[in-house]
Homo-oligomer: A and B are copies of this chain.
């Protein structure tokens, strides 16, 4: 078994309203920053042991499907690196 860190990034699907990001964008503009758009996402860094990187990625994807992401409104992506 090898120690891996799987990073799961969960973001809203295109078209799903994100009032928190909109509020953050406006607050930055009020502070004088110029920006065109701001999107927010959640990132989970999961330390786990697996036989290989593929198994680590598969398990992290299953965690995303079952708990970390809501498939109705979220997309997610998984990246795996050795620890």
Interface residues of A (CB under 8 A from B): 3, 9, 21, 24, 27-28, 31, 33-49, 59, 62-63, 66-68
How many Å lie between the Cα of A3 and that of B35 in the bound state?
Answer: 10
Report yes or no: B42 in contact with A46, Cβ–Cβ below 8 A. Answer: no
**Out of B36, B41, B44, which one reaches A38, CB within 8 Å?**
B44
How many Å lie between the Cα of A80 and that of B82 in the bound state?
Answer: 24
Query: Closest B-chain residue to A40, C-beta based?
Result: B44
**Out of B9, B42, B49, B68, which one reaches A36, CB within 8 Å?**
B49
How many Å lie between the Cα of A68 and that of B37 in the bound state?
Answer: 15
Report yes or no: A38 in contact with B46, Cβ–Cβ below 8 A. Answer: yes
How many Å lie between the Cα of A40 and that of B28 in the bound state?
Answer: 23
